[in-house]
Amino acid sequence: MVVVTISISVSFSFAPMQAPVVSNARASVAMETKADLEALAVACNPIVGFWDPMNLVEYDQFSAGEEATIGFLRQAEIKHGRVAMAAFVGYIVQSNGIHFPWKLTGEISYADIAAAGSPPDQWDALPSAAKVQILCFIGLLEVFSESTTILALSDNKHYMSGGKPGAFPKINTFLPHPIPLELYDPLGLSKNASPEKKAKGLVAEINNGRLAQLGIMGFLAAQKVPGSVPALAGIVQPYSGEVMAPFSSNDVGLPYVADMLKFSLF
């Protein structure tokens, strides 16, 4: 269930990033510096500017150096921003009872899942096999995006080695498939765009992603702690499950799930 996948995947993988990012990432392949981040901070938000209260830019991630650390931070923010944007839309769609009209399995329909309640409740209602399939697919996408060999087939490098943060490799370069559309830019809309247009688009994407991260976490916070987001009071349904856990009591047949359920974050 696509919208369920999108909404819930952000709930247990969300990691908001405060460090600003560089505007010209898709126009060139180069190791970026703190000065690049400071330059784009003004482009993204001239009022706030460069703001790094946790001093993440100075942190030496994996002892790989400042420029590699910046690549790591940029990749993290871009990726989580994209997931959050999809999650925000998916949450709204699911909350309004919109679903596919066909069967999910031989016995369970998408209507049955939609009837379970809010998006987190819908995720809990999914069969265990469906959850495992979704998580494995997400894991494969992570492997593809982190593989130096696969990235090289798309003329890119790892984001900590001078590659383009946020650029997902072409799948049909190493795994031919009958689907003609790629995950990144499936319609080729940015293929012939100018560097200036790409830079402007990335600034918009970063800002939208940051806002979406606040939005989706606001939904989840309001569900778990009534009144924590006054603007959402009476709009979102309370949720009694664990928003940061991929499995629920419905999945105790899976290894280690019963032990996991003994712990609670809230």
Structural domain span for residue 71: 2-260
Q: 151: pLDDT confidence band, cut at 50, 70 and 90?
A: very high
As a three-state string, the secondary structure of the chain is CHHHHHHHHHHHHCCCCCCCCCCCCCCCCCCCCHHHHHHHHHHHCCCCCCCCCCCHHHCCHHHCCHHHHHHHHHHHHHHHHHHHHHHHHHHHHHHCCCCCCCECCCCCEHHHHHCCCCHHHHHHHCCHHHHHHHHHHHHHHHHHHHCHHHHHHCCCCCCCCCCCCCCCCCHHHCCCCCCCCCCCCCCCCCCCCCHHHHHHHHHHHHHHHHHHHHHHHHHHHHHHCCCCCHHHCCCCCCCCCCCCCCCCHHHCCCCCHHHHCCCCCC
Q: Examine residue 265 and state whether it is found in any structural domain, yes or no.
A: no
Residue range 47-53: mean pLDDT, rounded: 93
Q: Examine residue 237 and state whether it is found in any structural domain, yes or no.
A: yes
Residue 39 pLDDT exceeds 90: yes
**Cα dist. 103→99, 144, 168, 202, 227 in Å?**
11, 30, 31, 38, 37
pLDDT at 29: 52
The chain-wide mean pLDDT, for the chain, equals 85
For the ranges 127-141, 178-192, 200-214, 229-243, the lowest mean pLDDT is seen at 178-192
pLDDT at 9: 38
Fill in the amino acid letter for 170. Answer: K
Determine contact, residues 71/31, Cβ cutoff 8 Å.
Answer: yes
Q: Examine residue 119 and state whether it is found in any structural domain, yes or no.
A: yes
Q: Examine residue 24 and state whether it is found in any structural domain, yes or no.
A: yes
Q: 5: pLDDT confidence band, cut at 50, 70 and 90?
A: very low
Q: 265: pLDDT confidence band, cut at 50, 70 and 90?
A: low
% pLDDT > 70, the chain? 88
Residue 7 pLDDT exceeds 60: no
CA–CA separation, 64 and 44 (whole Å): 27
Number of domains in the chain: 1
- Give the dihedral of Cα atoms 145, 150, 153, 159; nearest 10 deg: 40
Residue 221 vs residue 17, higher pLDDT: 221
Residue 84 pLDDT exceeds 80: yes
Residue 15 pLDDT exceeds 90: no
Residue 20 vs residue 153, higher pLDDT: 153
Q: Examine residue 80 and state whether it is found in any structural domain, yes or no.
A: yes
Q: 59: pLDDT confidence band, cut at 50, 70 and 90?
A: confident
% pLDDT > 90, the chain? 62
Q: Which of 12, 263, 264, 259 is nearest to 131 (CA)?
A: 12
Q: Examine residue 193 and state whether it is found in any structural domain, yes or no.
A: yes
Residue range 100-127: mean pLDDT, rounded: 94
CA–CA separation, 125 and 129 (whole Å): 11
Q: Examine residue 266 and state whether it is found in any structural domain, yes or no.
A: no
pLDDT tens string 174-215 = 887 777 888 888 888 887 889 899 889 999 999 999 999 999
